[in-house]
Structure 1
Amino acid sequence: MQTRRVFLATCLIACCVSASAADGRLNLTLRKQVPVSAGVKQFHTVTESQAWNPAETAIILCDVWDSHTCENAVKRVNELSPRLNEVVVALRKAGATVIHAPSNCMDTYKDHPGRKRAMETPKSKSLPTDIEKWCYKIPAEEQGVYPIDQTDGGNDDEPEQRAAWMEKLVQEGRNPKRPWVKQTDIIVVDDSKDYITDLGDEVWSILETRGVKNVILAGVHTNMCVLGRPFGLRRMAENGKNVVLLRDMTDTMYNPKSAPYVSHFTGTDLIVSHIERHVCPTITSDQIIGGKTFRFSGDTRPHIVVIASEPEYDTARTLTEFAVPHLGKDFRVTHLYGDAKKDNEIPGLEALNDADVMLLSVRRRTLRAEQLEIVKNYIAAGKPAVGIRTASHAFSLRKGETPPGHAQWPELDAQVWGGHYSNHYANNLKCEITFTPEAAPHPIMAGIEQKPFMAGGSLYQTAPLEPGTTVLQMGKVHAKEAEPVSWTFTRKDGGKSFYTSLGYVGDFQNPVFTSMLTNAVYWAAGKTPAKRP
């Protein structure tokens, strides 16, 4: 029975490979991030299709050890390893080179054919400088800021759990400071083909001898060994290999009790973003074996897509700075920005297709019809929406013609937010914000001191509101009628929305606004807002 299961699994993998590479090539979609414009800290996510010759391709399995000082890290490795093994089997069958690199474990493999094969490979005559050394940073990374604090080693075990795990390692006869002795047995080594080495010069020599141009890095831990080992991403990238990270077949050593105080999985996302911006592109396992992208069972974060495309209020910056500290603990965040050269383009809007929440800050864009349809389909599915400031007139022009092939949505304000924006009062008219009686018990106002305050910008004229709205805040300027400022809305499609005409640059310096916006996202996602310090 066991033999039959293995046979069927092998056949399934073979089918996936043939579907992925029907022409004998590995047809991959490489993802990277590029600056929205020169000198800014916002990035577009872009993709490029490449067809790789398997014979010119290698996968390096970095430190997929049988044990670790962190029990949680071991559990995550054990969870991803079965799928990673499927990837290895598929690539090997396609003709790619497989290099197992469990560092500091070579004594275990001293008599293994794979180890001997690596040692017997002729040394390359063009070994790169420092290929035998760790690499802590490459010049391209000087342009960015490393996104997480890993100075505590990244162990995310709780203290009692850690103590029990250390005791268990001792009972197993392992060195609790370095308990790994081999690669996990979940990853199968083919004695007749694969290589085993943890040395940079040996890895490079294998690649050169076999004519490998394309390198896939998988394994752990992304922020340490996968990046820094002599055979890691940095060394491969700086020495000219067409290298990619298999981003769903990796994990970080990151402790959420360290800056930026986000979930472990958000920490991994931040490192992957850093890599895509400054080191190399990434791919996913489904591109090789089909199925769905791997996701850890503990990663239950809803996916929020934050869309910023407006020139007046700098929300491309303010929302980006807002997202990590306020949403990073419980959400998987994707940022989309307007094209700096094409006002009516928002690259990557397809991310809405699997979003759980949309946060919109767009002003008077007429998207290509197919792009606007993505937004309309998201809303029609009854999914939640959060809008700030210019979101009321996101996809409609005040004047002028719609460009050919593009479309407007002037009804969005009424249909999605329940409002009727018509104009705003002069910028020099100070606006006082007050809370309505309905605000007191509402979860969006949880933990917020409901005292009047001054808005950071002009007051929008938004009345009258549609039936189904619940007003939470009102705004008033001298000698003018008060206007609704923040409210919830139950849409005709059954979905729920929150809108606020706040969102001026100065509003993001006001903890009342940032707390309200945070709570609104949690409310939209059906989650209880996280407690704030």
Structure 2
Amino acid sequence: MMRFLFLFLCLTVVPVEASEMQLVLRQASVDPSTHPVTWKPQQTAAIVCDMWDQHWCAGASQRVAEMAPPMNEFLKLLRSQGVLIVHAPSTCVDFYEKTAARRHAQEAPQVEPPAPMSTSLRWGTNWVWPDPTRETDLPIDDSNMGCDCARHCTIHDPWTRQIAAIQIDDEQDAISDNGQELCNLFAQHEIQHVMIMGVHLNMCVLGRPFGIRQLVKHGRDVVLVRDLTDTMYDHRMRPFVNHFQGTDLVIEHIEKFWCPTITSDQITGGPAFRFANAPTR
């Protein structure tokens, strides 16, 4: 496993003032040091990526269902502090077409993106492909689409909506899988900082038009919530480690090449989320 030196990241909900949160970021670096920052919740958004009601891979569906309740508790706390919650169930936003949360994203005034939007297409939305000028290849081989089940599941599109265990506040939240809509929404709310969570880290969390690559290219101050994510990785593929070690490797890749990470316990005050069948470290 690749070894990195890290900036240590922690996030506390004890505010410096009533409207501020203190963060100290963890990110791979050749010159590690602590880097404290202050975020205003009212300038912060949290994106929930592709937490669908069903997935073609049974194992992926099971892990999403396990992760959704603690993610919902995390989001409730963020929302209560004034963080904008954006639900991004790609290709399923029409399910919410008549809701106020969907209209919040659709009706935000049009703005010019901070940098060009990707026009490539993949899996029903625009897609930001790997950038060889700033990142190496991913440390896992997901070329077989990453199903880790004993027998590979048949690929199809069973998702229709976001998983119901993640609540949507129709008055406060927004729903979108469109990068331009998020640019509009972030400008309207004067968003400077973004937390992103959901699935799958090696695919959609990185590549969607609201994902890490596009957010970083737009100059957003981005962090990945690293305990509230999962990968599509099959342990029978390179580098032949268990599924959860594969996820850890992708987290390291993101910390090295794209953005820092945090864990949900630093908001909730309880333990960080851990999948029930993840090996003990």
Check whether the contact 1:106–1:198 (CA below 8 A) recurs between aligned residues. Answer: yes
Shift in Å at residue 47 of structure 1? Answer: 4.3
- The 5 A counterparts of 1:322-361 are none
C-alpha RMSD of matched pairs (Å): 1.9
Work out which of the residue numbers 34, 37, 48 in structure 2 matches 1:61: 48
- The 5 A counterparts of 1:270-349 are 270-302=249-281
Partner in structure 2 of residue 345 of structure 1: none
Work out which of the residue numbers 141, 146, 151 in structure 2 matches 1:154: 146
Question: Relative contact order: is structure 1 or structure 2 higher (C-alpha 8 Å, sep ≥ 6)?
Answer: 2
- Separation in 2 of the partners of 1:96 and 1:72? 31
- Separation in 2 of the partners of 1:236 and 1:153? 24
1:59-116 deviation line (CA, Å, top 9, x unaligned): 0100011000111111111111111111111111101111000001022111111111
Work out which of the residue numbers 52, 57, 63 in structure 2 matches 1:70: 57
Partner in structure 1 of residue 91 of structure 2: 104
Query: Do structure 1's residue 135 and structure 2's residue 122 form an aligned pair?
Result: no
Which amino acid is the alignment partner of residue 270 of structure 1? L
1:404-454 deviation line (CA, Å, top 9, x unaligned): xxxxxxxxxxxxxxxxxxxxxxxxxxxxxxxxxxxxxxxxxxxxxxxxxxx
Which amino acid is the alignment partner of residue 158 of structure 1? A
- Separation in 1 of the partners of 2:95 and 2:225? 27
- Separation in 1 of the partners of 2:243 and 2:12? 35
Distance 1:299 1:194, change over 3 A: same
- Separation in 1 of the partners of 2:16 and 2:118? 36
Q: Secondary structure at the match of 1:223?
A: coil
Partner in structure 1 of residue 23 of structure 2: 28
Q: Computing the radius of gyration over CA atoms, which structure comes out larger, 1 or 2?
A: 1
How many aligned residue pairs are there? 264
Q: Secondary structure at the match of 2:228?
A: strand
Work out which of the residue numbers 120, 141, 166 in structure 1 matches 2:107: 120
- Separation in 1 of the partners of 2:162 and 2:34? 32
- The 5 A counterparts of 1:190-201 are 190-201=169-180
Check whether the contact 2:193–2:220 (CA below 8 A) recurs between aligned residues. Answer: yes
1:171-219 deviation line (CA, Å, top 9, x unaligned): xxxxx61011000011100011110010010011111111000000100
Check whether the contact 1:27–1:287 (CA below 8 A) recurs between aligned residues. Answer: no
Q: Secondary structure at the match of 2:29?
A: strand
Q: Which has the higher helix share?
A: 1
TM-score (structure 2 length as normaliser)? 0.88
Partner in structure 1 of residue 75 of structure 2: 88
- Separation in 2 of the partners of 1:18 and 1:279? 23
Partner in structure 2 of residue 222 of structure 1: 201
Gaps of 5+ in 2: 1-10, 120-125
Q: Secondary structure at the match of 2:72?
A: helix
Shift in Å at residue 49 of structure 1? Answer: 2.4
Partner in structure 2 of residue 235 of structure 1: 214
Shift in Å at residue 51 of structure 1? Answer: 1.7
1:112-170 deviation line (CA, Å, top 9, x unaligned): 1111121111111345312553111235534x3420100000011111x73xxx6xxxx
Which amino acid is the alignment partner of residue 27 of structure 1? Q
1:505-527 deviation line (CA, Å, top 9, x unaligned): xxxxxxxxxxxxxxxxxxxxxxx
Query: Do structure 1's residue 205 and structure 2's residue 184 form an aligned pair?
Result: yes
Q: Secondary structure at the match of 1:32?
A: coil
Check whether the contact 1:138–1:238 (CA below 8 A) recurs between aligned residues. Answer: no
Q: Secondary structure at the match of 2:156?
A: coil
1:370-406 deviation line (CA, Å, top 9, x unaligned): xxxxxxxxxxxxxxxxxxxxxxxxxxxxxxxxxxxxx
Check whether the contact 1:26–1:288 (CA below 8 A) recurs between aligned residues. Answer: no
Which amino acid is the alignment partner of residue 240 of structure 2? Y
- Separation in 1 of the partners of 2:215 and 2:13? 29
Shift in Å at residue 18 of structure 1? Answer: 9.0
Distance 1:124 1:185, change over 3 A: same
Partner in structure 2 of residue 359 of structure 1: none
Partner in structure 2 of residue 353 of structure 1: none
Q: Structure 1 runs of 4+ off > 4 angstroms?
A: none
Partner in structure 1 of residue 123 of structure 2: none
Gaps of 5+ in 1: 1-16, 37-43, 167-175, 303-533
- Separation in 2 of the partners of 1:52 and 1:29? 11
- Separation in 2 of the partners of 1:47 and 1:76? 33
Check whether the contact 1:131–1:231 (CA below 8 A) recurs between aligned residues. Answer: no
Which amino acid is the alignment partner of residue 32 of structure 1? Q
- Separation in 2 of the partners of 1:19 and 1:116? 30
Shift in Å at residue 35 of structure 1? Answer: 2.7
Which amino acid is the alignment partner of residue 228 of structure 1? G
- Separation in 2 of the partners of 1:283 and 1:18? 11
